[in-house]
């Protein structure tokens, strides 16, 4: 039986979650929820917005699933805390996996995952709970992504990689095969990780410097 969905959040990611979930047949979005202190509008995307403190009474967990649509704020801690709060209320946490993703890992994907189009998830990969894979990533065979991680677009995770909890990996980052990334690491945009990363490490790619020659003096452009 299809179950209605409550989305936690009322920002850009919640709007995207509404867009993606609404394209599928499994869930119809019933409402949005936010913490009472942030309840500013009565509706969002044409659906009611209610206080999270009241959501279990208004949209009971025996008839509704919930999806936490938050970003990587505070190294995914905010999303983790709301995920745990929703579970404590008795909700089943829905995952979205795009039909345009290539998923070959026998469904080893946890709760409250947000896996967008053009991801390639190779065989024997394990993806934990509350993991976001933005569009266009490659997750190599026998790799593990633990709970509460956020991977931005076009990340290359080679085979046999282990990514710890609450990590953020930026666009176009590359992780070589069999490296281990400790909990709460930040791998910045364009970074190349060739060895293990200790917990709470920050690894940043170098930014491209501005040329001394202005664009008005370039030839052929």
| Residue-range domain boundaries for the chain | 3-94, 96-196
- The torsion region of residue 66 among left (phi > 0), alpha (psi -120 to 50) and beta comes to beta
3-state DSSP call for residue 150? Answer: strand
| 110 bridge partner residues | none
Half-sphere exposure of 211 (CA within 13 A, CB side): 6
Give the distance from CA 193 to its chain's centroid: 21
Q: In angstroms, rounded to a whole number, what is the distance separating the alpha carbons of residues 35 and 12?
A: 16
Q: What CATH fold (topology level) applies to the domain 3-94?
A: Rossmann fold (3.40.50)
Question: Which of 5, 8, 164 is CA-nearest to residue 85?
Answer: 8
- Looking only at the bridges linking them, the beta strands covering 27-34 and 96-97 are unpaired
pLDDT-wise least confident of 24-33, 40-49, 122-131, 155-164:
24-33
pLDDT digits (tens, 9 = 90+) for 38-90: 999 999 999 999 999 999 999 999 999 999 999 999 999 999 999 999 999 99
Under a CB-based contact definition with an 8 Å cutoff, are residues 152 and 131 in contact? no
Q: How sure is the predictor about 24, in pLDDT bands with cuts at 50, 70 and 90?
A: confident
CATH number for 96-196 (one of 1.10.10.60, 2.160.10.10, 1.10.3720.10, 3.90.190.10): it is 2.160.10.10
pTM score > 0.85 for this model? yes
Cβ neighbours of residue 124 closer than 8 Å, sequence gap 6 or more: 105, 141, 142
Question: Which of 141, 131, 135, 171 is CA-nearest to residue 155?
Answer: 171
Whether 96-196 and 3-94 are alike in CATH topology: the answer is no
């Amino acid at each position: 039986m299809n179950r209605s969905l409550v989305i936690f959040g009322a920002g850009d990611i919640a709007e995207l979650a509404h867009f993606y979930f609404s394209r599928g047949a499994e869930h119809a979005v019933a409402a949005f929820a936010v913490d009472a202190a942030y309840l500013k509008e009565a509706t969002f995307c044409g659906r009611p917005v209610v206080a999270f403190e009241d959501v279990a009474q208004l949209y009971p967990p025996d008839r509704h699933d919930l999806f936490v649509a938050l970003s990587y704020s505070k190294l995914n801690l905010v999303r983790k805390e709301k995920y745990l709060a929703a579970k404590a209320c008795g909700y089943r946490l829905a995952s979205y996996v795009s039909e345009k993703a290539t998923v070959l890992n026998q469904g080893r994907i946890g709760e409250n995952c947000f896996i967008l189009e053009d991801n390639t998830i190779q065989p024997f990969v394990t993806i934990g709970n509350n993991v976001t894979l933005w569009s266009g990533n490659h997750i190599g065979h026998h790799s593990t992504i633990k709970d509460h991680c956020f991977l931005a677009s076009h990340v290359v995770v080679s085979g046999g990689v282990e990514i710890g909890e609450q990590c953020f990996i930026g666009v176009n980052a590359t992780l070589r095969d069999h490296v281990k990334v400790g909990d709460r690491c930040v791998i910045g945009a364009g970074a190349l990780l060739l060895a293990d990363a200790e917990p709470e490490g920050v690894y940043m790619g170098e930014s491209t410097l501005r040329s001394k020659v202005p664009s008005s003096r370039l030839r052929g452009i």
